[in-house]
Amino acid sequence: MSILNSEGGCSCGYVRYREISEPCVVHCCHCSVCQRQTGSAFVINALFWAEHVELIQGEVVEFLAPSPSGKGQKIARCPKCSVAVWSNYYMGGIKDGIRFIRVGTMDNPNLLPPDVHIFTTTKQDWVVLPKAATAVDVFYDYEDVWSKVNLQRRNELLNQILE
């Protein structure tokens, strides 16, 4: 089943979105900040180019929150039920160019299993990663995980910001 044109939204149904591309990568983040912000042992985020995520119903409100990089993130939440549907991290200078969609808000989250587990040094001891899982202590090298096409697009965005 393809992720193209998949939809998701908040728990009350006010916010709905659609992804019109495949994700750049899917992270399962085990950092202590994500654990605290989600009230869970980890969060699964699918990274999409922002222009490939369409808000098809409702509106979101954005809140600034800390991130492991120290650069922060904007969390987009439903103004009615407060569910976080995506974030924009300020990592790598890309800012608003990439949306970190919360996979759990998708209508079919089974479509996006993690490509990589990050910040595993702070994962809960009882979380057992699959034997075949790609996992890193903190964060990965983009060249090792992202496709060539997505790396090229990332570099283009970085160059635009630096100009």
Would you give the DSSP letter of residue 93? G
Supply the pTM of this predicted model: 0.91
* CATH class as words, domain 6-162: alpha beta
- At residue 87, φ and ψ (nearest 5 deg) are -130, 155
Hey, which residues does 151 pair with through a beta bridge? none
Q: Are the C-beta atoms of residues 102 and 85 closer than 8 Å to each other?
A: yes
Domain ranges of the chain: 6-162
Per-residue pLDDT reduced to its tens digit, 94-137? 778 899 999 999 999 999 999 999 999 999 999 999 999 999 99
Which among 22, 27, 28 is positioned nearest to 1, based on CA atoms? 22
The pLDDT of residue 92? 60
CA–CA distance, 27 with 4 (Å, rounded to integer): 18
